[in-house]
Structure formats: structure tokens, C-alpha cells
Structure 1
Amino acid sequence: MHDLKDTIKEVVFAVIPLTVVVIILQFTIIWLPLEMFLQFLVGVVFVSVGLILFLLGVQIGLLPVGEMIGSALPKTNKLSLILFFGFLLGFVVTVAEPDVRVLATQIDLVSNGEISSNILIYSVALGVGIFVALALIRIIFNIKITHLLMVGYGIAFLLAAFTPANFIPISFDSGGVTTGPMTVPFILALGVGVASVLKGKATSSDSFGLVALASIGPILAVLILGVIYG
């Protein structure tokens, strides 16, 4: 019950400022049609209820399960198994990410179907899966994250020189949308679980940085897609 009250309070304080601003604009500058304004208010209610349910779901289900999976994988002592399930979990959670689907739908629309939504979704998911596995390697072998970030973005800027110009902004937006409400909690919990078991090699702080690395994967995947399309 305490978690429910905190979650409701958090959502209310997150949604109210935007709602107040739109209401002020409605009666001062923009004057939307009444029907559209009422749709906005109904949408605010739906969004608030949806966020409350989603955040409760994350706290009750996603975070504990992600952490348990992360702590169970290193106990197998099989690097290939850890990397495989790290890749698989990164892939499937990205396919389920609503932000990725919104971006893919918009790109499919503006490109008149030239870049289909399914191709973009699975390319982004593939990039996230590969880099989640790479992030787990970083935790296991205690590799400095700065080295991986420099190499990753170095490759991205190199690929950008050979990619059609219209793919470059899409690629960086693809990296941004993977830091959505579905992917981030699960990947962070997975990293915390892995790091908590490997305290002899890594501290729990090494679980952070997974999202930063995972967001490089979609950038590279879409840039490579641009090279292929180009």
C-alpha cells in the first residue's frame, strides 16, 4: 500500500505540470477546439492510470526478476550461456519497448514504407542485444567503460561518413528511444544482479553503464542499415 501511494504521488507530480501548462495555453494562446481539448484531458487520465500501473509492474515484476536472472547467470560459470541470455534478453525487451515502436512507425510513415517498421525494430533490437552482451563482458572482465564508449562512438562516427545523410539522425534517435520505460529497468536490474554475484571482480557500481553501452548498439545497427540501403 505504501508503494502504491508513493507511485500515485510520483505520477501526479510528473503529469500535473504539463497539464497545467497546456490548460494555460488553451485559455490564453492556442484555443484548441473543445473536442480536442476534452480528448487531451481524457488522455491525461489514461496516461496517469497507465503510468501508475506500469511503475507498479516494474517494481513488482521487472526489477526483481531482472535482478534474479542477473544473479543466477554467473553461477552457471559458463560465459557462453551468460552472453547468450544477455543478448536474448536485450533483444526481446527492446522488441517490446513502446518507444522503439513509435519511432519505427513514424519513420515508416515519413519514408513511405521505404524503411519498414519491422526492419528498424529488429535492427535496433539486434544492436541492443549485442551491446548488452558486451556490457556483461565488461562487468565480468572488469573492462573500463570509457574504452568501450570511445571505441563504440568512434566506429559510429566512422560509419556516419559512409551512410546516407537521412540515416544519421534516425540512428541517434534509435539510440535514444532504447532508453525507454521497458528496456532501462530490466537492463539495469540485470546488471545489478550480475555485479552483485561478481563482487570479487567488480563492485555493484559496475552494473551502471549498461544503458549507455546498450544505446550505442542501435546507433551502429541503423548506420549499418543505412550503408546497406545506400
Structure 2
Amino acid sequence: MKKIITLFLLTLVFYPELSAQSFSPDKRISLYGSYTFEDSFDSYYDSGNYYQGVIQDGMLYGVGFEFEVRKDIFLELSYLRENTSAPTQYFNGGIFGKYADIDLKINYLMLGGNHSFSKPGSKVEGFAGGSLGMAIVDLDYNDGNPNNYINNRATKFAWGLKAGAIVWATPKFGVKLQAQLLSVAQSVGGGVFFGTGGVGAGVSTYSSIYQFSLGGGLVYSFQK
């Protein structure tokens, strides 16, 4: 991940000189705010050890920095965050119905590419893209026993897809409307919610997070 970010920063520094004769690259900053729908998850290790729950809906917000590396092709470095909860029920050691209301914080650091397209003279610009990066998942929960409070953090691989449109109100300011899918591989798993020494020690299967959101944000172009 560090190598990818370093490459991205080097591109920001050197690409304008290399491409000055072909076109003048656009640079943009976006402020994001989206509604994220709930997502159910489950993990089954065997008939005596499994759990299931729901990551509640909530707001996903953050910021993105875009740099045009080719005509209508942008690199974007973005940070997104969601604060939510995940009511979870688990079966462990022959006892059914244990319950944990988990406070969940998900921080995404993503690097991706966006392709924009529009008709000449139009104020509406469509776009679509994908991204790769990491999710830092923080959780806190207590299953009803004051002596059984657990705080845990996991850093996992994440990927995303998005598509939408920008409506340019002025040559520099626009409103972005987009649909987005973010996925965190193995984030909702034994090692995250029920870590070593916790209620689910030994559970090694996992269930990925899939978060679909609708929303958008405000865009400022430094050149448009």
C-alpha cells in the first residue's frame, strides 16, 4: 500500500511537466457524503460455533483528491469513514442466543481510477471507476457482562466500484451524484469481532462486508 501511495504522489509531482505539451491536466477535490444501506453477515465454523448479524445503515463521509493523468482519466486518493453498529447473535459451545451490540468504525483509504465522459458544451459529466486500498476496522462491544468488554482493530484489504455524474453549476464548482459499492474482505470474521480469548476463539471462517451507498458531494476544480 505504501508503494502505491508513493507512486501516486510521484505522479502528482512529475506528470504535469511530462504532459504539458499534450494537454493541461485538471486537479479536483471532492467532499463526500452518502447514505450506506445495511448489510447482513454470518460466519459458520461448525454446527456448534457460528454467528450472524447486521451492519446497520448510516452515513459515509470523507474527501477525495483527483488528478487527471490522461484526457478524461483521473487518479483519485480518497479517505472515507463510517460510524455505525452491528447487532450480532452467536452460538458458541452449545449455548444459543448470546448477543453483542457492536460499535463499529470503518475507515477506508483508497486509490483508484475514474473515467469521465461528456458531450461538448454540456454541464453534465458522467463518470465510472474502481479503487483498491485498505479498511481500518475498529470495534467495541460488551455482551452484557461488565467484565467482558472487548476493543479490537483490524486492517484489511478493500476494493470499490462507483458510477455517477457531476453537474457543473459553474466552471469550477459542481455537485457530484454517485452510487458506490465498497467491500472489505474478511473484515467481519472471528479475528475481528471475536478475537483470541474472546467468545469465539477458534472461529476461523469469515464473511466479507459489502456496503452499497447512494449520495455524492461537492466538487471543486482547480482548472476547469
| Superposition TM-score, scaled by structure 2 size | 0.24
Question: Comparing both chains, which one has the higher relative contact order based on Cα–Cα distances under 8 Å and sequence gaps of 6 or more?
Answer: 1
